[in-house]
Amino acid sequence: MTWIIMLGIFVIDQISKYYVVQNLHYLESTPVIPNIFHLTYVHNYGAAFGILQNKRVFFIVISVLVITVFLYFYRHLPKDWMTKIAVGMALGGTIGNLFDRLRLGYVVDFFDFQIWPVFNIADSALVVGMILLAWRVLFTDEDAVEANESLELDLENDQEMTGDDISESDI
């Protein structure tokens, strides 16, 4: 599930950016909900809120490190649904923006709520994924998660069994 979410986020992010680049001129803003939400095509050479402008190599290195750390520690993380979704979202978002930086030298941003810096789908997925992962680590009862994982494994095993596979000892 993690890898499907990661790939889905990456693909949706790239399609949305392609749409914006093909349909808006640089710095053009189209109101979706006037004075509240616009699609505004900008190039982001920095990070959130415009910090660390023109530090492309720095962001590429950080992105590769984040991906490497996630992949290394993934096998040690719980395999519950929240962790799978969180890691998939965080990786998909990181890879989406890394792809832009490698290909274009900047990140394409376009969601503009007028009171907040312009952002994109990858940014949203990364932030939501990290919030879910933090919630999972800080506030989820490990015993409940382990019991749920055990129940999921039991259900998977039950579904794999067919009438031919049942022996007298299973009855």
Catalytic residue chosen out of the listed positions 100, 123, 154, 170: 123
Active-site residue, 109 included: yes
Catalytic residue chosen out of the listed positions 13, 100, 109, 112: 109
Query: Cβ(1)–Cβ(81) under 8 Å?
Result: yes
Active-site residue, 165 included: no
Half-sphere exposure for 28 (CA within 13 Å, toward CB): 9
Q: How far apart are CA 129 and CA 90, in angstroms?
A: 5
Contacts of 57 (CB under 8 A, 6+ apart): none
Q: The tokens of 169 are what?
A: 């000892």
Active site residues: 109, 123
